[in-house]
Amino acid sequence: MLRLVLVAILLVTVGLALFSEITRARVEAHHPPRGAFAAVEGGRLHYRECRPAGESRGTVVLVHGAYDNHADLLARLGPKLSDYRVIALDRPGHGWSERLAGRAMADPGRQAQALMQALDQIAPERFVIVAHSLAGALSSRIALDRPERLQGLVLLGAMSHPWPGGIAWSQRIAAMPWIGPLYSRVVAVPLARHRLGDSTAVESTAPRPCHDAAGEVRLLLRPDVQQSNAEDMAAARDFLSAQAPRYGGLELPVLAIAGDRDTIVPPAIHSAAIAREAQQGRLVLLPGVGHMPHHAAPELIAAAVDAMFGAARDRP
């Protein structure tokens, strides 16, 4: 009986691992990289860029959060920022960006350095960063360490401070050095496939407009991406514990936009705190909105970007 049970477990494990690899191949075949790559230390970062038809009013950089890639922010905000040069990056290990330094790249400070290596090449001008969720940690680090490169920082339901408790059990397992890769290949992809549901249906690969990101969420259905997300989440809390005391040194404009119903990154712990601590910090709380302010109020975010560039032009 024990032998039969072990054989059954082995067959299920192999079957799920095979399902994950088939899913990875299928997703990558239908959603190849559509942007360009910037060479940085350790590998390449993928990004997409949209330019206005006429003269640009400035440059806006979009940085996505956990369990996401460049496409969601670009699809929601790109059309509202059509007068700007918009650059949407895949963070290391997400979308089509390489993980670069492996597990060490989970540190938001290292991700900040990698993104700035790319941006120093492709966008030497000053820019506004718009960062969602987990990207708040590394974008705030950029604002602290490279303020001369920024016009301002817009945080969307962003992580900025340590929070009570920890992370989900599945993330803890996937982030473990030895068990994590196995979990990501056997359990994480089928579980993510179940959670995404019908949104994983394959669509046409015909060329689409720059801002159309339909289907890009399916790039999550790859074992290495699942593991990268878990590692990022595991590293975030300690990183923010060390970084948060520095926010009083933020001298550039910081606008934190959050939904008052956000239970994933509660605004009382994160958005309200950094808005209070930054020298030019400001909080906008959206009633009835959850963790995706850019889905609920893209026009408001675009207006905030306009205001930051306008204030910069008005300064002597």
Sequence spans of domains, the chain = 36-159+236-314
Question: Is residue 40 scored above 60 in pLDDT?
Answer: yes
* Overall residue count recorded for the chain in this entry: 316
- The class that CATH gives domain 36-159+236-314 is alpha beta
Q: Which of the pair, 154 or 27, is modelled with greater confidence?
A: 154
Ranked by mean pLDDT, which of 67-81, 169-183, 212-226 comes out on top?
67-81
pTM (predicted TM-score): 0.90
- Exposure of 45 by Cβ count < 10 A (0-12 exposed, 13-18 middle, 19+ buried)? buried
Ranked by mean pLDDT, which of 186-195, 200-209, 270-279 comes out on top?
270-279
Percentage of the chain modeled with pLDDT above 90:
70
